[in-house]
Amino acid sequence: MSTDLPVIRLKPKANARAIRHGAPWVYDNEVVTDRRTKNIAPGSVAVLEDEERQPLALVGVNPNSRIFARVLDRADAGAPDTAWFAERIGKALGLRERLFDAPFYRLIHAEADGLPGVVIDRFGDTCVVQPNAAWAEVLLDEMVAALVEVTGCANVLKSASGRARGLEGLDDQDAVLTGAAPETPVAVPMNGATYMADLTGGQKTGLFYDQRPNHAFAQRLVAGARVLDVFSHVGGFGLAALAAGAESALCVDGSQPALDLAAQGAEAQGVSERFSVRKGDAFDVMTKLAEEGETFDVVICDPPAFAPSKQALEAGLRAYERVAQRASALVREGGYLGLCSCSHAADLSKFRQASTRGIGRAGRRGTLIHTGFAGPDHPMHPQLAESGYLKALFYRL
């Protein structure tokens, strides 16, 4: 074990067994926080000991965060270097290359891929990194060197957007870490559709890969159908539907740049004549469509996280219920409704209850025909419920 690393220790009542069995986080109220511990620089790598001073794990420390320590490796592993990152990234790459025939996927999904707080999405020869934990920010140079070595990517960009970096006390400055940022949106093939990803000005890393299997399920419902894609971002479900033979797709979103990218995707896909957009607040647009007497064979809603924390859970569940109620009114008899949630605080049971209540409040009855989750490039850490955040429910009304 490296003797030059700082040491932190669990309080007597903290659950050391959980760490031994794979729990990835240690909260600030579980650690002995004396003056020395509080003075450890955010992002430092340390050795975590139990109350009897037995080494438990190598951890990344942030005294300014509610998550005081994130487990990185065995206690005797020594501080991470480029070779350490290369080994982790190499394992993750091996899985993705087995799963996908083109280099467009989430390459690193944080704790589940052994890099706590780190997200890396790959877009061909460009990788976009979100170092959402202080330890990863401190070791960013080593991580990027390993990433280029293992993947051969020419360009590496840093995305500093998102709530997580603020909770860690990190900056919100995007950067080009290696190579250059693409000057135009990147065309991403997925499920036979073409999506345009803005890697510098778009949301998060530029595209959401997590819905890939849910797009694929929706494609089984849409042959010859009129499809409404609400909270569409860059055309997620709408463009997938057109690739699978939908008669038409209308995408609704509050962001004009996102809708412009969706239209570019439709053009690249050769389906512009069957594609249309409507900008506005999703609730208002759904109400207006109902007033106009519009109905669709398939309606799918993929809103942002209405319940990003436990404190926001009740308000978030009410919002999901309202989505289901408004959307149900737009589904023709015998048609299909897809409802999605990326809120980790709203577990599957609560989200399903809220969705079903909303359908009932619209005066509709539905049978649940499919429950979907994130794709396998978003693996779930079995002891971290937050990593299983995405749910998709498909009903026949």
Q: Are 168 and 133 in contact (CB under 8 A)?
A: yes
Q: Tell me if residue 342 is catalytic.
A: yes
- E strand or H helix that includes residue 362: none
Angle at 374 between CA 198 and CA 304, to 5 degrees: 55
Q: Are 56 and 36 in contact (CB under 8 A)?
A: no
Q: How far apart are CA 39 and CA 45, in angstroms?
A: 13
Q: How far apart are CA 2 and CA 213, in angstroms?
A: 43
Q: Are 254 and 325 in contact (CB under 8 A)?
A: no
Length of the chain: 397
Question: What is the phi/psi pair of residue 237, to 5°?
Answer: -80, -35
Q: How far is CA 212 from its chain centroid?
A: 12
Angle at 322 between CA 317 and CA 324, to 5 degrees: 95
Q: Are 124 and 151 in contact (CB under 8 A)?
A: no
- E strand or H helix that includes residue 190: strand 186-190
Q: How far apart are CA 147 and CA 93, in angstroms?
A: 10
- E strand or H helix that includes residue 85: helix 82-99
Q: Are 26 and 69 in contact (CB under 8 A)?
A: yes
263: Cβ contacts below 8 Å, ≥ 6 apart: 235, 272, 275, 277
Q: How many CA atoms lie within 13 A of 90 on its CB side?
A: 10
Active-site residue, selected from the candidate residues 127, 153, 340, 342: 342
Q: Are 143 and 118 in contact (CB under 8 A)?
A: yes
295: Cβ contacts below 8 Å, ≥ 6 apart: 330, 331, 332, 335
Burial 2-21 (b: 16+ CB within 10 A, else e): eeebebbbbeeebebeebee
Catalytic residues: 342
